Chain A
Amino acid sequence: MTELATTAQAKELHRKFTEDVMAMPSGEKIKICQQCGTCTGSCPTSYLMEYGPREVIAAFRAGMIDRVVKSNTIWLCTSCYYCTVRCPAGIKITDLMYELKRMAIKYDLAPKHSSKNPAMTKIFVDSVRKHGRNHELELMAKYMATKDWGMPFKFWQLGLKLLANGRMPLAAKNIKGKDELAKISAYLEAEEAKAQ
């Protein structure tokens, strides 16, 4: 792979991305991307992205993956997998997006203003770790509290209707084995630390 990254951070991100992608099943296929753009043409949200999926791979080759990690691109991927099933080279582009999300969280580089998805991701995972299942009302409440104060007012009618129709239970359900999820995560975190 080309090594054009210039700053220390760009070099580190390039190294991490290369290493992780090559460790993925069929990750090496990223090398045979011919920049046809089928991914970007198939993406329902590429028009909102600073770098479309095709450009993500181009940026990587140019040693500029650091720009993508800091961009809004990865937080606008809805995991619809259109790019993945259509890529003629068999590149799992959705998985690349997940890898970039993980890097942005790990290095704390997610954009603070252009998208609220990083906050949502964290709240969702915390909720599941706490209860074993996702409690939708708690998720919404916590999410609104961090970012979007205007939301309850915009959606109060829908909220009331869901409550009235029994589609928004107030109490969270805890599974018996909820501690197991925390232990599973702790084990994997420790394994990852050991490997580094």
Chain B
Amino acid sequence: MKYLYYPGCSAESTGKAYDISTRALMEKLGVGLVELPDWNCCGATSYFSVRELDSFAIAARNMAIAQEMGESEICVICNACYTSLAKANRYMADDPKVFEAVNGALGAVGRSYDGQVKIRHIMDILINDIGLEAIEERVTRRLTGVRVAPYYGCQFSRPMGAFDDVQFPTTMDRLFQAMGADVITDWDAKTDCCGGMMMLTKRDGALRLCHELLVAARQYKADVVVAACPLCEMNLEGYQRQVNQAYGTDFDIPVMYFTQLAGLALGADPKQLAIDKQVVSCDPVLAAIPA
């Protein structure tokens, strides 16, 4: 099994651990990842604010490259990239005018895109292509007793809901249950917003949202919060100190990419998963996993 892989811009800096642990996890599962050559930024939320068609067209450049290679799908890890790329596909399919305009723009750089390259979230691939049974077979270190808060974030399944529920997704719950973890399946904060880019533009508002999420994690006695998006991970982990300063709290809750914790269960070394690069120490989580 082999996938064309789109890491996204964050995976080259603040979210580097997501990329590193994704590659290690897939290797453990015997799945190859081939990085999409010369991929560009998905446009994120900012491009939508300038011109909607710009956003669709630059997203589509990535799909056009995949199509030129004869590939039919792209594996994406970042929630925001996933939504931007999938949204371009959806709007091209729904509106012939968008399809035409995007292809006009791509034509200006000698490319074209037929709209047929599927955008797949890595969680979708894990659950629906590789399958929980196959994953469970490869678990070498069961996560017995580790209390996991599965944090999906907003754009994991919203607005498309292509492979999981838009309001109460469960794929990550099932993944970690298959690995023996004590998953907080009734965690109602699982798709609440972390504030996203607002951490830079309206800090007090974003800190409040992160505070609420951390309170919810503690209420449910989580050992670790696992995230599926570089922005969610950064806000919840990197800014815990600022949350504590703003709210007089003493949070020190480990936050990991879900690929890091899953990698541990499959026997990867913590260093291979860049777990030592986290801002909040994950040592308590490592200690909690039975040898």
Which residues does A use to contact B, with CB under 8 Å?
23, 25, 44-45, 48, 75-76, 78-82, 84-86, 92, 94, 98-99, 101-102, 105, 115-117, 119-121, 124-125, 128, 132-137, 140, 143, 154-155, 157-158, 161-162, 165-169, 173, 175-181, 183-189, 191-192
CB proximity of A52 to chain B, nearest CB, Å: 14
Q: B47 and A128: CB pair below 8 A?
A: yes
CB of B67 within 8 Å of the partner chain: no
Given A181-B58, A188-B101, check contact A105 B38 (CB 8 Å): no
* B contact residues around A189 at 8 Å (CB): 51
Question: What are 10 inter-chain pairs, A to B, with CB distance below 8 A?
Answer: A76-B202, A76-B205, A105-B50, A115-B202, A121-B49, A128-B40, A167-B15, A181-B40, A184-B109, A186-B108
Assembly CA distance A128 to B192 (angstroms): 28
Q: A84 and B159: CB pair below 8 A?
A: yes
CB of B43 within 8 Å of the partner chain: yes
CB of B41 within 8 Å of the partner chain: yes
Assembly CA distance A45 to B61 (angstroms): 33
Assembly CA distance A76 to B58 (angstroms): 25
Q: A133 and B51: CB pair below 8 A?
A: no
Given A102-B49, A162-B14, check contact A80 B193 (CB 8 Å): yes
Q: B45 and A79: CB pair below 8 A?
A: yes
CB of B16 within 8 Å of the partner chain: yes
**8 A Cβ contacts from B88-110 to A:** 91, 94-95, 97-98, 101, 104-106, 108-109
Given A25-B91, A79-B155, A181-B40, check contact A191 B101 (CB 8 Å): yes
Instruction: Give 9 nearest A-B pairs by CB, closest first.
Output: A80-B154, A81-B158, A124-B46, A101-B49, A134-B9, A180-B109, A187-B108, A80-B193, A81-B159
Given A169-B12, A184-B105, A188-B54, check contact A81 B61 (CB 8 Å): no
Q: A128 and B43: CB pair below 8 A?
A: yes
Q: A158 and B279: CB pair below 8 A?
A: yes
Q: A120 and B50: CB pair below 8 A?
A: no
Assembly CA distance A180 to B104 (angstroms): 13
* A contact residues around B94 at 8 Å (CB): 25
Assembly CA distance A157 to B106 (angstroms): 43
Q: A177 and B197: CB pair below 8 A?
A: no
Assembly CA distance A6 to B31 (angstroms): 62
* B contact residues around A99 at 8 Å (CB): 52
Assembly CA distance A45 to B51 (angstroms): 24
CB proximity of B211 to chain A, nearest CB, Å: 12
* A contact residues around B161 at 8 Å (CB): 85
CB proximity of A166 to chain B, nearest CB, Å: 6
* A contact residues around B109 at 8 Å (CB): 177, 179-180, 183-184
* B contact residues around A25 at 8 Å (CB): 91, 94-95, 98
Q: B40 and A102: CB pair below 8 A?
A: no
Q: A78 and B197: CB pair below 8 A?
A: yes
* B contact residues around A101 at 8 Å (CB): 48-49
Q: B158 and A85: CB pair below 8 A?
A: yes
Q: A78 and B193: CB pair below 8 A?
A: yes
Q: B12 and A125: CB pair below 8 A?
A: no
* A contact residues around B12 at 8 Å (CB): 133, 169, 173
Q: A132 and B50: CB pair below 8 A?
A: no
Q: B52 and A167: CB pair below 8 A?
A: no
Assembly CA distance A85 to B278 (angstroms): 33
CB of B57 within 8 Å of the partner chain: yes
